[in-house]
Each structure stands twice: as C-alpha cells, then as structure tokens.
Homo-oligomer: A and B are copies of this chain.
Amino acid sequence: MFDAYGTLLDLGFITRKAEQAFPGRGAELSALWRDKQLNYTWLRTISGNYADFATVTADALDYSIERLGLAAPRQKRDDLLAAYWSLPSFPEVPAALLDLRNKGVRLGILSNGTPAMLEAALQSSGLAGLFDDVLSVDAAGCYKTARAAYQLGPDRLGMPPGRILFVSSNSWDISGATWFGYHTYWVNRGKHPPERLGTSPHASGETLKDLATLFA
C-alpha cells in the first residue's frame, strides 16, 4: 500500500513549474506550499473540519503566494495549481511496480488526494492500471495520520494492518502508519534523518528499486 505524493509522484515537478511561474522564487514557494498543505490537513483533522485535498491544496497555494508577496494573476495561479493534476512519477517507479506485480504482489495506493486528483495523476504519470486498489482518505473524511484514514487499507483488503506493507517517502506518514499497526517501509529519497516521533520503520531504502529487491 503506497502513499502517492512524493513517494510515487514527483513533487519536484511542482517546484519546476513554480520556478517557471516565479523565476528565482520557485523553491521557496513550492516548499512553503507543501508545508502549508500538510499543516492544513493536520489542523483540519485535529479539529474535525475536513475539506478535501483539492481545496486544501488551493488554500495552501493562495496563502503561500500572499505570504511571499508574489504578484499572481488568476491564470498563473490556476496553472500552477493544475500541476497537481498532471504529475509525473519518479523515474524508477514504473519498472519497480511492474517488477512487484510480476512477483505476484498486490499493489494499492492510500493517499490524501481526492479520487479525481489521483485518477488524473495516475493517468499523467502512466501508472494507471498498475494498482488493484486506489484508496483516497476522502472516503474517511479525515487525513493521515488519523487512524480512520489508515483503516481504509485493512478494510479494503480484509486483512490486519500488520500483514500489509505500507510504503511512503514521508517520514511522518511512516510514523503514523507504524503507530497504526502497518508493516512499514520508508523510501528515504532525500537521505534525511527520520522524524523524531518515537517510531522506526520496519525497513527502508532510497528508491522503489530497493523495495522491489526485497521480494523474491
């Protein structure tokens, strides 16, 4: 069971689009946008005020543009937001997923994205058709790391979380999934230290290629 954004789908695409839209400010804008996007999912979940990921992503972009004092005509802002619907995958992802499928592994996605956002990005990235299950937290009305969000996996698969391998590049997501009871694999793409939340992933590697080699 894979996380999508940052794990399968390359958010570096967003940074490049932001840099095209705002030369010299792209890295700063995309980092703040991502930060606010996640903060808003957590705050809304804690307070029980869910709004879907398309809304939260747009809100986070609007805040970031305003906070950084950027002049953004509506079209420029809309084009940048649309990048979330046309993401590419990381380069190794298609072959690694195909390898896993060929080894008989059932593949799924459990993402904060709305069903429509996920469908669009799976098309744009060429990953559509590789997954048996594409689950959106939208069905639970809350975001990861809420237990109700992670519970969608065991509910769909009809097996306990300890028998499901949850894969994410987001260390906080790995902590949440580990707390919940999944078997966890951290794709540490950035070679970062793990978040200090008192948990450890069951295994980790740097790309999905490392993950695929774990399966005989």
Contact = CB atoms under 8 A, between A and B. Distances in A.
Interface stretch (A93-101, A128-136, A194-202): A194-202
A85 interface: no
Nearest to A179: B47
A63 interface: yes
A152 interface: no
B47 A176 contact: yes
A193 to B, nearest CB: 4
A84 interface: no
A42 interface: yes
A175 interface: yes
Interface string A67-86: 10000000000000000000
B145 A59 contact: no
Secondary structure class of chain A's binding surface, majority of residues: helix
A63 B195 contact: yes
Contacts of A147: 47-48
Nearest to A48: B147
Contacts of A35: 35
Contact of A193 (B44, B67, B179): B67
Interface in A35-51: 35-36, 38-40, 42-49, 51
Contacts of A67: 192-193
Nearest to A180: B47
Given A46-B146, A46-B176, 20 more contacts: A36-B196, A39-B39, A39-B172, A40-B196, A42-B43, A42-B46, A43-B145, A43-B172, A43-B195, A45-B46, A47-B146, A47-B147, A47-B175, A49-B197, A49-B198, A51-B198, A59-B196, A60-B196, A63-B195, A66-B193
